[in-house]
Structures are given as structure tokens and as C-alpha cells.
């Protein structure tokens, strides 16, 4: 398990990390979310030892993370770094070999990755000949070419087309399924909601929400969507604890407080007409994110 425990980092009068804590277990795919400047890159750099800490500690398997473990981690840094002139295939084989793969294993793994990423026929091209999106695919491949136990990726999905996003999602899922602990930062909340088992949401260097995506969603207030073939009269006297948050072509969306019974609200709706459609929904991750930011503000 990777543990970020009470991380603190100060730059001049900017507190970049202000007690940030969360953990990622083997097999977990953790989305690391937060507004720009909230400390995500700083925290990931601290995990890799690229930046020092003013307080707190990073642990791997219960002990302080070692230089050796850091070197073995699959890391996609914010500042992308590939050799501009070296053919991408050669480069990836080189990275895999650095991490101790045999020549044969490295070659077959690189071929497999480039194949999946749609870059097999570009193997002999130097990085500088590739589009930015393709360079990012290669950088991503470089982070997982040696099948690390820990993957730390700084915005791996930014600026990619939907095909690349799908492929990379699949590859990350595979990594988690074989037991790697994976953490990546992103602003794509819907993607994180679909892909991740856990999330850590940070703001101003502190963790504001952390846990399993499924549990966090289940804990959030339920949404009720109702379509009534009739007037809106019933809305003037809905139960206390139910709040209308949207109205669209006769469909009304309400947020229900913990003690509000959905059936009671529906019975209420029936006083205005026939209920033609209804559904109960959990909040989206994007809503939980927004709520967490507001609570903090």
C-alpha cells in the first residue's frame, strides 16, 4: 500500500501541501482530483522524491519509501521527458532494460504496448516526428513498460483523443488487475468515475474527500427525476427536505434529503397528473466534487 501521510510543502508563502493524506492499495485505481494549484503535482513529486517535503511522510508497504522503490515506480511526470532523436521503440526497450527486463521480454512488451496504442508502425520514428498526442502515448507506455508495482501518473489523459483515452483506460485497468497500485491525476471527472475504484479529492493542499467511488456516491444525496403529465402545482408544497434542482420539458429533478421518502414525493406528484416517468439516481462524481469544493470554501 502507498500511503501519503500528512504531507506538507511550502514554497515561500505558498502552502502547496497542507497535511495532505490518502492511501492507495495494490489493485486499486485511484483518481487524484483537485482544482489547478491544489497540490497534486507537488504530492506526486514528493512520492517520487523529486521534491522534498517540509513535513509528513510517504510510505510503501508500511515503511518509508526507499530510493530503490522510487526508481522502480512507473512515473509519468508533468514535464514530459523523452529523447527527441531516439526512435520510440528503441527508447521504450531502453527504459524496460533499465528496469531490469531481459532483452527478449523488453522487445515483446514494447511491441505489445505500441500495438495497443496504435503506434506499431511508428516504432522506428524518433519522438520529435510524432504529434503531441502520440508523444504522450509513448510517455505513457514508458511509465508501464516494466510492469511496476506502483504507478504514479500526472494527468496522463490530458489532451488525448477518445480512442487514446479508451486504450489507456484499458491498459491502466489491466495494471490494477494484475495487482499494481495506480494513482493518476485528472480533471476528467466522468472518466475517473467510470475508471477508478477510489478517489482522493484535494483542495489547497488538503484532502477533502477520499474513498471508494461507489461508497461515496451511495453516501451522497439521492436524485429523483419525475415527469408528470399535468401542471407543476404539486411543486409548491413538496415535503421539507426535497429540493428542486432542475426542470426540463416537464421533467423535474429533485434532491432528496436523508429522511425524505421518494414514494411520498411521487404520491405528491400524482395530485397534479399522471406520473409518466421516474427514476432514482445517485449523484455524479462531478457533483460530489463540486460539493466538496463548496464545503471547503
Our CB check for ligand ADP shows the closer of 24 and 260 to be 24
Our CB check for ligand ADP shows the closer of 77 and 220 to be 77
Q: Which of 28, 38, 41, 139 binds Mg ion (CB under 5 A)?
A: 41
- Those residues whose C-beta lies under 8 Å from the C-beta of residue 236, and which sit 6 or more positions away, are none
CA distance 55 to 264: 52
Our CB check for ligand ADP shows the closer of 76 and 145 to be 76
Shortest Å, Cβ 26 to Mg ion? 25
Contacts with ligand ADP by CB under 6 A lie at: 11, 14, 16, 34, 36-42
Shortest Å, Cβ 224 to ligand ADP? 35
Partner that binds at residue 31, options Mg ion, ligand ADP, none, CB closer than 5 to 8 Å by kind:
none
CA distance 59 to 31: 19
Report whether 24 contacts 30 (CB < 8 A): yes
Shortest Å, Cβ 210 to ligand ADP? 15
- Which residue stretch of 35-43, 68-76, 210-218, 282-290 sits at the interface with Mg ion (rule: CB under 5 A)? 35-43
Binding-residue pattern over the window 120 to 159 for Mg ion, x denoting contact by CB under 5 A: ----------------------------------------
* Placement of cell 416517468 in the chain: 277
Our CB check for ligand ADP shows the closer of 214 and 290 to be 290
Query: Rounded to the nearest 10 degrees, what angle do helices 132-144 and 162-177 cross at?
Result: 0
CA distance 182 to 81: 20
Our CB check for ligand ADP shows the closer of 42 and 167 to be 42
Shortest Å, Cβ 249 to ligand ADP? 39
Our CB check for ligand ADP shows the closer of 199 and 255 to be 199
Partner that binds at residue 39, options Mg ion, ligand ADP, none, CB closer than 5 to 8 Å by kind:
ligand ADP
DSSP-derived secondary structure letter, 37: T
CA distance 101 to 117: 21
Cell of 158: 490530458
Task: Tell whether residue 186 is a contact of Mg ion (CB under 5 A).
Answer: no
Burial state string for 97-107 with b = 16 or more CB within 10 A and e = fewer than 16: beeebeeeebb
H/E element, 244: strand 242-248
The three-state secondary structure class of 187 is coil
Partner that binds at residue 38, options ligand ADP, Mg ion, none, CB closer than 5 to 8 Å by kind:
ligand ADP
DSSP-derived secondary structure letter, 126: B
Number of helices (H) and strands (E) in the chain: give both, helices first: 10, 14
Cell of 47: 512520492
Shortest Å, Cβ 155 to ligand ADP? 8
Our CB check for ligand ADP shows the closer of 46 and 256 to be 46
How many residues bind to Mg ion according to rule CB under 5 A? Answer: 2
Contact residues toward Mg ion (CB under 5 A) are: 40-41
Amino acid at each position: 500500500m502507498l500511503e501519503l501521510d500528512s504531507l506538507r510543502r511550502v514554497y515561500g508563502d505558498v502552502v502547496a501541501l497542507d497535511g495532505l493524506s490518502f492511501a492507495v492499495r495494490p489493485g486499486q485505481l485511484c483518481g487524484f482530483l483537485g482544482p489547478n494549484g491544489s497540490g497534486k503535482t507537488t504530492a506526486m513529486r514528493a512520492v517520487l522524491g523529486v521534491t522534498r517535503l517540509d513535513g509528513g511522510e510517504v510510505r510503501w508497504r508500511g515503511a518509508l519509501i526507499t530510493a530503490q522503490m522510487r526508481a522502480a515506480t512507473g512515473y509519468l511526470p508533468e514535464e514530459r521527458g523523452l529523447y527527441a532523436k531516439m526512435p520510440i521503440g528503441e527508447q521504450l526497450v531502453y527504459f524496460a532494460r533499465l528496469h531490469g527486463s531481459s532483452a527478449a521480454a523488453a522487445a515483446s512488451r514494447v511491441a505489445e504496448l505500441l500495438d495497443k496504442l496504435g503506434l506499431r508502425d511508428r516504432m522506428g520514428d524518433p519522438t520529435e516526428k510524432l504529434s503531441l498526442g502520440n508523444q504522450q502515448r509513448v510517455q505513457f507506455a514508458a511509465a508501464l513498460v516494466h510492469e511496476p508495482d506502483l504507478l504514479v501518473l500526472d494527468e496522463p489523459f490530458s489532451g488525448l483523443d477518445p480512442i487514446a483515452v479508451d486504450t489507456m483506460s484499458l491498459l491502466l485497468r489491466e495494471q490494477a488487475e494484475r495487482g499494481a497500485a495506480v494513482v493518476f491525476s485528472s480533471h476528467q471527472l466522468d472518466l475517473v468515475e467510470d475508471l477508478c475504484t477510489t478517489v482522493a479529492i484535494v483542495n489547497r493542499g488538503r484532502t477533502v474527500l477520499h474513498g471508494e467511488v461507489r461508497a461515496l456516491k451511495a453516501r451522497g444525496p439521492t436524485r429523483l427525476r419525475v415527469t408528470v403529465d399535468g401542471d407543476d402545482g404539486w411543486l409548491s408544497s413538496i415535503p421539507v427536505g426535497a429540493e428542486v434542482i432542475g426542470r426540463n420539458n416537464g421533467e423535474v429533478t429533485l434532491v432528496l434529503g436523508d429522511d425524505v421518502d421518494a414514494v411520498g414525493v411521487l404520491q405528491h406528484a400524482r395530485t397534479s397528473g399522471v406520473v409518466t416517468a421516474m427514476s432514482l439516481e445517485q449523484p455524479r462524481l462531478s457533483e460530489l466534487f463540486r460539493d466538496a469544493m463548496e464545503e471547503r470554501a
